[in-house]
Amino acid sequence: MLQDMVTEIQKLGIKVHHIPGGYTSCCQLVEVRFNNPFKSCIKCKWHEWIFAEAEKNNEIKAPSCNIIAKWIVAAYESISDKIICNS
């Protein structure tokens, strides 16, 4: 991190700790245990949708908000309560 930025953060009374490379998974459990599978599920749903659309139409339009909302719900429901609680 840039030293100027660290100094400004410290002026706000926030302690800054350097996390060595490769240790993100130890410090950011929500990112590793929840966000990654959540995003992966949404990406999978998008791939399924885009391939189906490509087979039906020559011109592919953006998915509707309703379709995207269904992907989000499916992704959330695919993650167990235990993983959510332990993240």
- What's residue 34's pLDDT? 83
pTM score over 0.95: no
SS3 60: coil
- What's residue 27's pLDDT? 76
Distant-in-sequence, close-in-space partners of 27: CB < 8 Å, separation ≥ 6: 19
Q: One digit per residue, pLDDT tens: the chain, 87 residues?
A: 588 888 999 999 998 888 888 887 777 777 777 888 899 999 999 999 999 998 888 888 899 999 999 999 999 999 888 877 776
